[in-house]
Homo-oligomer: A and B are copies of this chain.
Amino acid sequence: MSLVVQKFGGTSVGDVDKIKNVARRVVESKKRIDHVVVVVSALGDTTDNLVGLAAQISKTPPEREMDMLLSTGEQVSMALLAMALDELGQDAISMTGQQVEILTDTGHTKAKIRHIGADRVVQELRKGRVVIVAGFQGVTSEGEITTLGRGGSDTTAVALAAALHADCCEIYTDVDGVFTADPRVVPQARKLDEVSYMEMLEMAATGARVLQSRSVEYGRNYSVPLHVRSSFHEGEGTWVKSEDDIMEKAIISAVTHDFSESKVTVVGVPDRPGIAARLFGALAEANVNVDMIIQNVSERARTDISFTVATDDLEKVRKVAGDISEAVGAEGVNLDDDVAKISLIGAGMRSHPGIAAGMFQTLADKDINIEMISTSPIKISCVVRRSDGARAVQTLHDYFNLSE
């Protein structure tokens, strides 16, 4: 018996016509797959509208009530999709997180899934029904409604696929799959047929928006193959799966970019133990996610500490880093939001030395100055000037022949 979980995001269910289109896709799928489970996001900008309503009432709404509010979005889209399927003669039933038993912890607005019951999902599938599940939402053991945070519907879909031992989880989106670079920056960018979980994780962390890290991690942990594909046509998209299952292993899979980060430098920090710990401890406490961190070897009694953060967090960082800088007697804090992070991703890097050198030389040949470098076994990231960003991506994509 084949079983597939299909996830349709907010742009795929943006209005009534798109919902009808999704219903037709699902009916087509049901012809070739025994059991189909559909996970839906809220319609188009519903969630933003609800957040806007709450913001008009309170700057700090209680998170429990925020979840109560936001979870309605998916409930609307799943009911409408069930109606559209019924209209096409396909028996279907929509189910809330509570009805599916998507049990989470009590971390309102960013809850983590603890367990999925899914007994009733199986019962309904056995009746020949398509089961439509609300993405993004769960329920605590006390019956409180929770939401899973940004990208939560992907997480619901992958977790449900794991719980149901699905053959795969299909993520329908408004692009054709995962590309070797953002096609808006590199017109020759090529759709990847396959990519490993680890590569996908690095890509998500370095600017690729197509999948959220959390759902990829879930897929990796439970060995659920993910299929990222277009909601507008039937063509194959990109499979995300275990490295062992990848047929043709490329050395480099993709060049990604992230223009949403800023560089922060604490200048003239006294070179004594504990200061970095104090700085990054304070940032963590302020809920600031720090990405790259670089500390130069000090040749005098003082050193510079540079790091990157989301530009959205820059005001928080100004305050926190400024306070620490003053407290430890550093010379000051420089904030620079005019940077870009360019990354080269590829599982083959591990067995091919010289990739980093090639990357640096390519950028140097184009007079692109590298301001920070950070590496992992399958990734090299460089921070450059924002104005050099697109050119850096294009140059690297050409140099490593990624369009072939």
Could you tell me which A residues sit within 8 Å of B by CB distance?
Answer: 16, 19-20, 50, 53-54, 56-58, 61-62, 64-66, 68-69, 71-72, 75-76, 78-80, 82-84, 86-87, 93-94, 96, 98-99, 143-145
Contact = CB atoms under 8 A, between A and B. Distances in A.
Contacts of A16: 53, 56-57
Contacts of A58: 83-84, 86-87
Contacts of A80: 53-54, 57, 65, 69
A332 B373 CA distance: 90
Contact of A83 (B61, B75, B78, B145): B61
Contacts of A54: 79-80, 83
8 contacts: A16-B57, A54-B83, A62-B82, A62-B86, A65-B86, A68-B82, A72-B75, A96-B145
Given A62-B83, A62-B86, A57 B19 contact: yes
Instruction: Count this chain's copies in the assembly.
Output: 2
B65 A79 contact: yes
Max chain B CB contacts within 10 Å: which of A64, A69, A84?
A: A69
A72 B98 CA distance: 14
Contacts of A66: 79, 83
A312 B8 CA distance: 39
Nearest to A59: B87
A373 B69 CA distance: 50
Max chain B CB contacts within 10 Å: which of A68, A84, A143, A145?
A: A68
A68 B94 contact: yes
A20 B98 CA distance: 30
Contacts of A76: 50, 53, 69, 72
A144 B120 CA distance: 12
